[in-house]
Amino acid sequence: MQVLDPLLSPARFEWGCATSSFQIEGASRADGKVPSIWDTFCAQPGRILDAGNGDVACEHYHRVAEDVQLIADLGFKHYRFSIAWPRITKTDNSLNMAGVDFYKRLLDALDKHQITPNATLFHWDLPAHLEGGWLNRDTAHRFADYAELVARHLGDRLPRVATLNEPWCSAFLGHDLGVFAPGGQSRAESLVAAHHLMLAHGLGMQAWRAVHANTSLGIVLNPELCDPATDRPEDVAAARLAELERNDGFLNPLFGREWPQELLQQIGELGHMRREGDLAICAQPLDFMGLNYYTRSIAQAPVGGRDAERGYRFVAPQAPKRLTAIGWEIYPEGLTRVVQNLQAQWPLPPLWITENGAADNTGVAHNAVNDGMRCDYLEAHFEQVAHLIRSGADIRGYYVWSLMDNFEWAHGYSQRFGIVHVDFQTQKRTPKRSALMLQRLLRG
Ligand code: IFM
């Protein structure tokens, strides 16, 4: 790609890069930080592919000035990051000022380079001491307390704030499939967690707005296309159920609509944990919505076991599909389909693509990283964004995931999503070909 589509010109469109606290900060016990559920999950044998953890990660906590310099050098004017709840609060849920000071240092560095911060309050690192985690309704109220603390201490420096990142992952990967912290495996409980997460979102929005009425507030979701593996009616029905879970489970409450019957049936007796009035709390007016898009899923009718409870099972894409290193299908047109599906069903606020990117594990050779697959992936998705805007979608910005290689959750350090290579032995950062491509495109 030689030049950006004029619709994506940095003069009118926001270009940024994204990270999250647990994945890059390290310093897992520094300055009063308390353990998160991901610290305890990583300590359990067998949970993380390469037995990795977040103790050191990219050492961003100690390299914040250098990393922000890198963002500036690459030409980004916007940076999306998350705030670590277990850095900001102590085990009695009171303020940990040393944690706040770290984010002040980050914001000072961003200010120095005139980079606009775009913060997320919760990107999965839930304080471990919160009894019951997202299965406990009280956690939603503690989230509101935390949101209020951040609003009071950092809010005047944060123009745009998302409450949650991808609550589907916390609820379903964390409580049904058991592959994310805390590792639960109950269908009904995953729906309880989903409900409490959306309640936390609503309560957090209310708490923040009571302190700063003018912050642009929203949420980041990862809605997904779930296409049927075949056109057999049972596969089509399974794909529909998968999409209900993935999309309606979160978008309905955001817009004050009840869950579909299928999800209400699956939560069963635990449905009593959803109280009257909760929906109205979840449906706070949104200033924006962030969408994270990587791939699509292919669903099939379940054959039994736990899949039967869900009503679907995901299957691997059939050859000759192109895949990224993590095995996800490269399907750029899915971005257009997702956005158009959402537009058809819900009254969306302005959208930002808050994450998009590829795992490409190409290594360093002669001080360079030739991540051609990622370059192609990104270009193909930029084209879809331009196409969507041209067809009337209100998309205001695009953030590449991720600024640098980092801790990829259950995959540990085995999957590299960064446009900047990180040598985890030396912490040396090497911009990859994709970073240099973006730098050139952003310069125009
Ligand atoms: O690394 C994650 C990120 O934390 C949330 N969205 C998906 C990315 C790639 O798996």
How far is the C-alpha of 114 from the C-alpha of 97, rounded, in Å? 25
How far is the C-alpha of 44 from the C-alpha of 36, rounded, in Å? 13
The neighbouring-strand residues paired with 300 are: 313
Average pLDDT of the chain is 98
SS3 297: strand
pLDDT of residue 444: 84
User: Active-site residue 262, yes or no?
Assistant: no
Tell me if 355 CB under 6 Å of ligand 1.
Answer: yes
How far is the C-alpha of 72 from the C-alpha of 366, rounded, in Å? 24
Pick the atom of ligand 1 nearest to 406's CA. Answer: 1
- Ligand 1 centre to CA of 294 (Å) is 9
pLDDT of residue 321: 83
Mean pLDDT of 209-226: 98
Q: pLDDT-derived band of residue 1, with 50, 70 and 90 as boundaries? A: confident
pTM of the model: 0.98
Q: Which of 14, 25, 148, 166 is catalytic?
A: 166
Mean pLDDT of 336-348: 98
pLDDT of residue 332: 98
Q: What tens digit of pLDDT does each residue of 156-203 get?
A: 999 999 999 999 999 999 999 999 999 999 999 999 999 999 999 999
SS3 163: strand
CATH classification code of 6-443: 3.20.20.80
Q: What tens digit of pLDDT does each residue of 54-105 get?
A: 999 999 999 999 999 999 999 999 999 999 999 999 999 999 999 999 999 9
Q: Running DSSP on this structure, what letter comes out for residue 160?
A: E
Amino acid letter, residue 113: H
Pick the atom of ligand 1 nearest to 409's CA. Answer: 1
User: Which residues are CB-contacts of 35 (< 8 A; sequence separation ≥ 6)?
Assistant: 28, 29, 86, 127, 128, 129
Q: What tens digit of pLDDT does each residue of 413-438 get?
A: 999 999 999 999 999 999 999 999 99
pLDDT of residue 57: 98
- Ligand 1 centre to CA of 47 (Å) is 17
User: Active-site residue 166, yes or no?
Assistant: yes
User: Which residues are CB-contacts of 111 (< 8 A; sequence separation ≥ 6)?
Assistant: 157
* Long-range pairs for 60-66: beta carbons < 8 A, 24 or more residues apart: 60/19, 60/24, 60/25, 60/26, 61/25, 61/26, 61/27, 61/30, 61/102, 62/26, 62/27, 63/427, 64/102, 64/105, 64/106, 64/109, 65/105, 65/109, 66/429
Tell me if 14 CB under 6 Å of ligand 1.
Answer: no
Mean pLDDT of 19-28: 99
Indicate the top mutation candidate among 166, 179, 407 to test ligand 1's pocket, ranked by most ligand atoms within 8 A of CB.
Answer: 166
Tell me the percentage of the chain whose pLDDT exceeds 90.
98
pLDDT of residue 236: 98
pLDDT exceeds 80 at position 320: no
Q: Which residue CA neighbors atom 2 of ligand 1 most closely?
A: 408
pLDDT of residue 317: 84
Q: What tens digit of pLDDT does each residue of 39-53 get?
A: 999 999 999 999 999
Closest among 140, 160, 145 to 277, alpha carbons compared? 140
First to last CA, the chain: 12
pLDDT exceeds 90 at position 132: yes
Mean pLDDT of 270-289: 98
Tell me if 408 CB under 6 Å of ligand 1.
Answer: yes
Q: pLDDT-derived band of residue 247, with 50, 70 and 90 as boundaries? A: very high
Domain ranges for the chain, please list them: 6-443
Q: What tens digit of pLDDT does each residue of 136-162 get?
A: 999 999 999 999 999 999 999 999 999
Contact 227, 174 (CB under 8 A): no
pLDDT exceeds 90 at position 318: no
Backbone φ and ψ of 144, nearest 5°: -65, -40
Indicate the top mutation candidate among 172, 295, 417 to test ligand 1's pocket, ranked by most ligand atoms within 8 A of CB.
Answer: 417
